């Protein structure tokens, strides 16, 4: 049995990734902890990055090698469908679901450009977060709850993301306080 089959968190139990869309900005934040079982292997991993020459931001939860494969595939789809994030993600999700190699990848992604924020899963889902807020990974629900509680305050998207990530890191043992934030101007 693989490690994720015995985990109560499923295959995406080693991180927290959060996206917030508010006040003309879109943010994706991720912690830096990489865990193997109950051992912290690295505390400064970068799970959030820019794609498409800085026009798209993305964060992943899951196996690092699998996530980098998905980043590469998404980058290629964005080259095929420039400025069409949703179309590129739908095409990636189709490949992810039907390709024998990709089907085995264990990761989830949050991606955003100036117009859309999306969640991608290996089951073929491409979903737009409700209210512009979404969290994935083991601490994702903690960060999501905190962000939803803060979204109607006068805080900006980055401040909300940093506060929500701190709350998640205080609760989830697979999430640390080493947070990377990428931000874009948003159409909304």
CATH value at residue 155:
3.60.20.10
Per the domain annotation, does 179 fall within a domain?
A: no
* pLDDT tens-digit readout, 13-48: 578 999 999 999 999 999 999 888 888 888 998 999
Taking the alpha carbons of 178, 135, 182, 51 in that order, is the dihedral positive or negative?
positive
Q: Is the pLDDT of residue 1 over 50?
A: no
Per the domain annotation, does 188 fall within a domain?
A: no
Which pLDDT score is estimated for 34?
87
Contact 57, 48 (CB under 8 A): yes
Give strand ranges (E) for 23-139. Answer: 25-30, 34-36, 39-42, 48-51, 56-62, 107-112, 117-120, 126-127, 133-137
Spatial separation of the C-alpha atoms in residues 46 and 30, rounded to whole Å: 8
Per the domain annotation, does 75 fall within a domain?
A: yes
Per the domain annotation, does 184 fall within a domain?
A: no
**Domain total in the chain:** 1
Residues annotated as catalytic are 15
Q: Which domain holds residue 140?
A: 3-171
């Amino acid at each position: 049995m693989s490690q994720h089959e015995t985990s109560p968190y499923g295959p995406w139990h080693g991180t927290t990734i959060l996206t917030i869309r508010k006040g003309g900005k879109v943010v994706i934040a991720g912690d830096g902890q990489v865990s193997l079982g109950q051992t912290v292997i690295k505390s400064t991993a970068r799970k959030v990055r820019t794609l498409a020459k800085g026009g798209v931001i993305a964060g992943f939860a899951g196996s690092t090698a699998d996530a980098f494969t998905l980043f590469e595939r998404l980058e290629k789809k964005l080259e095929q469908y420039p400025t069409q994030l949703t179309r590129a993600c739908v095409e990636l999700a189709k490949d992810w679901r039907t390709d024998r190699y990709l089907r085995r990848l264990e990761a989830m992604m949050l991606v955003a450009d100036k117009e859309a924020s999306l969640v991608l899963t290996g089951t073929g889902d491409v979903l737009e977060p409700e209210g512009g807020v979404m969290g994935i990974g083991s601490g994702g629900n903690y960060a999501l709850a905190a962000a939803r509680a803060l979204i109607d305050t006068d805080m900006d998207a980055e401040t909300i993301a940093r506060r929500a990530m701190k709350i998640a890191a205080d609760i989830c043992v697979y999430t640390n306080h080493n947070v990377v934030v990428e931000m874009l101007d948003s159409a909304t």
